[in-house]
Amino acid sequence: MNGYELSRNWFSFSFDNYKCKTQHTALFFWIVELNNRFGWKKQFSLRTNEALETLSIGNKNTYLSALRDLDEWGFIKIISPSKNQNQACIVEISRIKSDTTLHTTLDTALIQRGNDTAYDTAYDTASSTDPIDKQVNKETIKQGNNETISPDLGNPENLKAEHQKTFGSAGAAKSAKVPTLQEVIDYFDQKGYTEEAARKAFSYYNDPMVESGGRVWKDAKGNTVKNWKQKMIGVWFKPEALKSQLSDKDQERVRKACAWATSTLNSILNTSYTPDEKNTVKAITARLLEGSNHVEFKSVLDKKVKEWKGTDMQKNLQPHILFGEKFTAYLQQPDFESVTDTPKRISISLEPYSR
């Protein structure tokens, strides 16, 4: 089986299988390329680090999952898996015998795509079932009609260009699916996150797409969001976006913590923070879910009041900032001796918060 037959088999398979992603195609043709460079050995080595760098796959688990899929689908066979990232695994390409006289779904799609007008139902089906002639060398094959000769798909550069030409929009749509709002809400709900967070995430990517007339989501760097679920997990699944999974007792702890934090700051700074302010509740709930306790809350408040009261930083003495994402950093910093008239020790009772 040559490179042309391997590529034809792959694209006929991937066209009918929604599970095929960009990483599967890239990895399979990298394996074919390696096998070609090794002189078409039956078994050869495939190094994880080398494949990750060559294919620009940033996640090792994505690579390993694609490799297992290729083995399961019968395109390769893993002879000996690697023990670690620096050790090569041994693979071989499965020589799947294909009948090129069979007319595949992909053939039909390409025929329809090639017509300038709507698909003619009276199209000569006899000619559509003829096998595609392939070149055995790089010489130009002359035809007796005006049909276009397919390039030598055994050549990786020609194969890449032909794939981009033929599957450009369809491939992008497959690997960069744009979900509906309801799909995003359902996914957040399934993973235990709030509908409010789901709507915010959807709006962040979808609104700019609609305004620009685009067809895919873009992230802040202008890169296409190819896997929206992965993007949700990596960017939007934050502790403060979790649904309330606290017991009645823990919810009471949240209420007490919010009341204590706001009343203490109000008494020291003459402010008017309220315990039910959304950002305050989110921040303190997230810290409690992480295992923080009132002693740690008091320690952070003590330190930052000593450090910031009476300075330009006093504006940051707000509950959602003190107990927000930098809480751990504040907790771990050494005590700050104020150069202002702020007392070195602020006596804050534990009694209002004691359970």
Average pLDDT value for residue range 4-18 = 81
pLDDT band at 273 (very low <50, low <70, confident <90, very high): very high
pLDDT above 60: residue 38: yes
For the ranges 13-17, 22-26, 153-157, 303-307, which has the lowest average pLDDT? Answer: 153-157
User: How do residues 71-110 score in pLDDT, each as one tens digit?
Assistant: 888 889 898 887 766 678 899 998 655 444 444 555 555 5
- Residue 215 pLDDT level (bands cut at 50, 70, 90): confident
Pick the range with the lowest mean pLDDT from 41-45, 46-50, 64-68, 115-119: 115-119
Q: What is the mean pLDDT of the chain?
A: 76
Report the pLDDT value the prediction gives residue 40, as an integer from 0 to 100: 85
Q: If we measure between CA atoms, which residue out of 296, 313, 295 comes closest to residue 304?
A: 313
Q: Give the end of a domain, one of 241, 268, 297.
A: 241
Q: Distance (Å, rounded) from C-alpha 145 to C-alpha 123?
A: 17
The reply to whether 11 and 124 lie within a common domain is yes
Q: How confident is the model at residue 257 (pLDDT cuts 50, 70, 90)?
A: very high
Query: Are residue 61 and residue 40 in the same domain, yes or no?
Result: yes
Same domain, 72 and 202: no
Are 60 and 89 members of one domain? yes
**Mean of pLDDT values over 233-259:** 83
- Output 52 or 116, whichever has higher pLDDT: 52
What is each CA distance from 311 to 146, 269, 316, 335, 347, in whole angstroms?
A: 81, 12, 10, 17, 21
Query: Does residue 349 have a pLDDT over 80?
Result: no
pLDDT computed for residue 95 by the predictor:
61
Question: Where do we find the tokens 């080595």?
Answer: 45
What is residue 153's predicted lDDT score, i.e. its pLDDT? 47
Percent of the chain with pLDDT over 70: 69
Question: Residue 185: how many CB atoms within 10 A of its CB?
Answer: 20
Q: Which residue has the higher pLDDT, 119 or 316?
A: 316
Residues 20 and 165 in one domain: yes
Which of 149-163, 167-181, 341-355 has maximum average pLDDT? 167-181
122 pLDDT band, cuts 50/70/90, is very low
Question: So what's the pLDDT on residue 182?
Answer: 93
pLDDT in the model for residue 305: 92
Averaged over 322-351, what is the pLDDT? 68
Please name the helix (run of DSSP H) or strand (run of DSSP E) that holds residue 92, with its range, or none.
strand 89-93
Question: What is the reported pTM?
Answer: 0.33
Comparison of pLDDT for 25 and 172, the residue scoring more: 25
| pLDDT value at residue 269 | 92
Query: Which parts of 213-337 fold into alpha helices (H)?
Result: 228-231, 248-269, 278-289, 294-308, 319-322, 327-332
Q: How many domains does the chain have?
A: 3
Q: To the nearest 10°, the Cα dihedral for 172, 173, 175, 178?
A: 130
Asked whether residue 154 falls in the same domain as residue 10, the answer is yes
What single-letter DSSP state applies at residue 40? S
Residue 283 and residue 343 in one domain: yes
Query: Same domain, yes or no, for 83 and 145?
Result: yes
Domain shared by 192 and 329, yes or no:
no
- Mean pLDDT over residues 166-187, rounded? 70
- For 168, 201, 230, the CA distances from 234, given in Å and listed in that order, are 27, 12, 6
Looking at per-residue pLDDT, the higher value among 323 and 106 belongs to: 323
What's the rounded Cα separation, in Å, for the pair 80 and 109?
Answer: 38
Looking at 241, 270, 285, the residue that finishes a domain is 241
CA-CA distances (angstroms) from residue 32 to 37, 50, 194, 252? 9, 15, 45, 61
At 121 the pLDDT is 41
Say yes or no: 126 and 228 in one domain: no
Residues 6+ apart with CB under 8 A from 199: 181, 184, 185
Cα separation, 300 vs 322, whole angstroms: 7
Number of H helices, E strands in the chain: 15, 3
Least confident of 130-139, 217-226, 269-278: 130-139
Show the domain range for 319: 248-353
Average pLDDT over residues 306-329: 92
Are 326 and 286 in contact by the 8 Å Cβ rule? The answer is no
The contacts of residue 336 (CB under 8 Å, 6+ apart) are 303, 306, 307
Tell me: do 169 and 193 sit in the same domain.
no
Lowest mean pLDDT among 81-90, 214-223, 235-244, 307-316: 81-90
Buried b (16+ CB within 10 A) or exposed e, 99-120: ebeeebebbeeeeeeeeeeeee
The pLDDT, as a whole number, for residue 41 is 83
Contacts of 353 (CB under 8 A, 6+ apart): 256, 257, 260, 294
The last residue of one of the domains, among 133, 154, 175, is: 175
Are residue 204 and residue 89 in the same domain, yes or no? no
